[in-house]
């Protein structure tokens, strides 16, 4: 791509900024949580229709489309292939949060809010799709657009993967807003970026008795409390300090009445880890400890797991490719290559497991703009909408760069 064409595309993205902002605000005002993104999907399809792209539903609320390049063969390098494909991803679901940030585009749906930036992701990928469709002569191969539902519950990525929508692709690429990264900067880091996420429930069964005769029963509440305490020792005494892993218990229920030894207790929590090995070891240790603790005090424990997402580990080569594109677009000084990994999860990890790829974080924090430095999932969360210029540009240019690379 020549320098003049690059400048032309960047200028078009700037001209489209109001359109992209309007899309982001539409999604922000009309948030829908995981598995309920029906109107969001319809809006995405409406915009794809305007662009002139055919589309299909993936699951009930995911949306898929393709942009096929038509770069003339005489302009294609010997290593280019008309079947070469890159998958771009945006997640579309919101959160069950009541927005408290006052703005003209505040959520209109009680108890629902885009408090993580998925509205920006969706608008950005639509913005990139509009530019890429208008310039199909600049690349060969195929750009696959995936608007993924249900990221917040670790649901939607596997629908696309299992449905074959990544099959045969050479690269995957996704982005996430980051309120703790200054607007105008992009973080692209190889290796572990996000932890795996496993939900667990431990069900403890004891035996009821009057509290005045505890020896006649088996106290499930006491067993559950011992499991909570022992869980912390799994990390501090059974796991290497060099392994980043977390076990958290956020919900405990037990008992039937104040004067009855509890016959049942339930604990719900999560395990977060950066490698598959540590993840599996921690799950096994937790199961063993819970069962043995319950048995020690005359009860029984069963452990149930749900795999929400794998650890997100950016591919080295893909990451270097994106870093190179970002440095050219935004300047080397605005590309962060050593951002600390997060124990939060993201199911884009499933994309990378299927096809090599990388996940970038575009900065949306601006101290002079209210809410833009608030933590993700905060009811006051907002983004600096100027950052949409970076996200649309990186989607657009990395796709072209990759498909045209020698």
Tens of pLDDT, residue by residue over 358-392, are: 999 999 999 999 999 999 999 999 999 999 999 99
pLDDT digits (tens, 9 = 90+) for 278-302: 999 999 999 999 999 999 999 999 9
What token pair was written down for 325? Answer: 């594109």
Question: The tokens of 72 are what?
Answer: 């003339």
CA distances from 45 to 38, 56, 68, 128, 164 (A): 11, 8, 18, 15, 20
Mean of all residue pLDDT scores within the chain: 96
What tens digit of pLDDT does each residue of 12-27 get? 999 999 999 999 999 9
For residue range 315-362, what is the model confidence (pLDDT) as tens digits? 999 999 999 999 999 999 999 999 999 999 999 999 999 999 999 999
Beta strands at 186-187 and 335-336: parallel, antiparallel or unpaired: parallel
Give me the CATH topology for the region 196-309: Alpha-Beta Plaits (3.30.70)
Confidence check: pLDDT of 80 > 60? no
Which of 74-83, 140-149, 192-201 bottoms out in mean pLDDT, i.e. has the lowest? 74-83
Residues of the binding site: 116, 118, 152, 176, 377
pLDDT tens figures, 175-207: 999 999 999 999 999 999 999 999 999 999 999
Is pLDDT at 30 greater than 50 in this prediction? Answer: yes
Residue 166 class from Cβ within 10 Å (0-12 exposed, 13-18 middle, 19+ buried)? buried
pLDDT value of residue 406: 78
Q: Is the pLDDT of residue 77 over 70?
A: no
Task: Output the pLDDT for position 79.
Answer: 46
DSSP state of 192: E
Residue 224 has pLDDT above 90, yes or no: yes
- pLDDT over 90 (residue 114): yes
Burial profile 125-148: b = 16 or more Cβ within 10 angstroms, e = fewer = bbbbbbbbbebeebbbbbbbbbbb
197: closest CA among 256, 257, 155, 146?
Answer: 155
Domain boundaries, the chain: 3-193+311-404, 196-309
92 Cβ neighbours under 8 A, 6+ residues apart: 27, 37, 40, 41, 44, 61, 62, 63, 118, 121, 122, 147, 148, 149, 151
Under the banding of pLDDT at 50, 70 and 90, the label for residue 73 is: low
Asked if residue 1 has pLDDT above 90, the reply is no
CA dist 146 and 83 (Å) reads 18
pLDDT of residue 83: 80
DSSP 8-state secondary structure symbol assigned to residue 55 = E
Q: What's the CATH code, domain 3-193+311-404?
A: 3.40.630.10
In the chain, what percentage of residues exceed pLDDT 70? 98
Quote the pLDDT of residue 78.
Answer: 42
Per the annotation, binding residues for Mn(2+) are: 116, 118, 152, 176, 377
8 Å CB contact between 132 and 69 = no
Q: Are 377 and 99 in contact (CB under 8 A)?
A: no
Cα–Cα distance for residue pair 399/16, rounded to 1 Å:
18
Assign 102 to helix, strand or coil.
Answer: coil
C-alpha 9/C-alpha 25 separation (Å) is 24
Phi and psi at residue 252, to the nearest 5°: -135, 130
């Amino acid at each position: 791509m020549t320098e003049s064409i690059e400048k032309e595309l960047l200028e078009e993205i700037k001209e489209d900024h109001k359109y992209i902002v309007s899309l982001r605000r539409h999604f922000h005002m009309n948030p829908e949580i995981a598995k309920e993104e029906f109107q969001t999907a319809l809006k995405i399809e409406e915009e794809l229709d305007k662009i002139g792209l055919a589309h299909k539903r993936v699951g009930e609320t995911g949306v898929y489309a393709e942009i096929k390049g038509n770069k003339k063969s005489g302009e294609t390098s010997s290593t280019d292939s008309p079947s070469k494909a890159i998958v771009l991803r945006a997640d579309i679901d919101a959160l069950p949060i009541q927005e408290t940030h006052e703005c003209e585009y505040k959520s209109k749906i009680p108890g629902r809010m885009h408090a993580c930036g998925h509205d920006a992701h969706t608008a950005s990928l639509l913005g990139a799709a509009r530019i890429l469709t208008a310039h199909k002569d600049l690349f060969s191969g195929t750009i696959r657009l995936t608007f993924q539902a249900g990221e917040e519950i670790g649901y939607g990525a596997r629908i696309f993967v299992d449905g074959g929508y990544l099959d045969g692709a050479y690269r995957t690429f996704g982005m996430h807003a980051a309120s703790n990264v200054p607007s105008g900067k992009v973080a692209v880091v190889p290796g572990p970026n996000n932890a795996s996420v496993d939900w667990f429930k431990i069900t403890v069964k004891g035996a009821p008795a009057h509290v005045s005769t505890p020896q006649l029963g088996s106290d499930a509440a006491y067993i559950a409390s011992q499991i909570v305490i022992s869980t912390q020792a799994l990390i501090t005494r059974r796991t290497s300090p060099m392994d980043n892993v977390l076990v958290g218990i956020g919900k405990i229920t037990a008992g039937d009445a104040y004067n009855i030894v509890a016959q049942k207790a339930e604990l719900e929590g999560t395990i977060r880890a950066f490698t598959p090995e540590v993840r599996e070891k921690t799950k096994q240790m937790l199961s063993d400890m819970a069962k043995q603790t319950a048995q020690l005090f005359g009860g029984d424990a069963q452990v149930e797991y749900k795999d929400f997402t794998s650890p997100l580990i950016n591919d080295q080569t893909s990451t270097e490719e994106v870093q190179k594109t970002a440095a050219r677009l935004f300047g080397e000084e605005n590309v962060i290559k050593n951002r600390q990994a997060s124990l939060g999860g993201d199911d884009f990890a499933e994309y990378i497991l299927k096809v090599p790829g990388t996940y970038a974080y575009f900065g949306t924090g601006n101290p002079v703009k209210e809410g833009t430095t608030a933590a993700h999932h905060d009811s006051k969360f907002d983004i600096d909408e100027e950052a949409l210029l970076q996200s649309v540009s990186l989607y657009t240019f990395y796709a072209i760069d990759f498909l045209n690379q020698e």
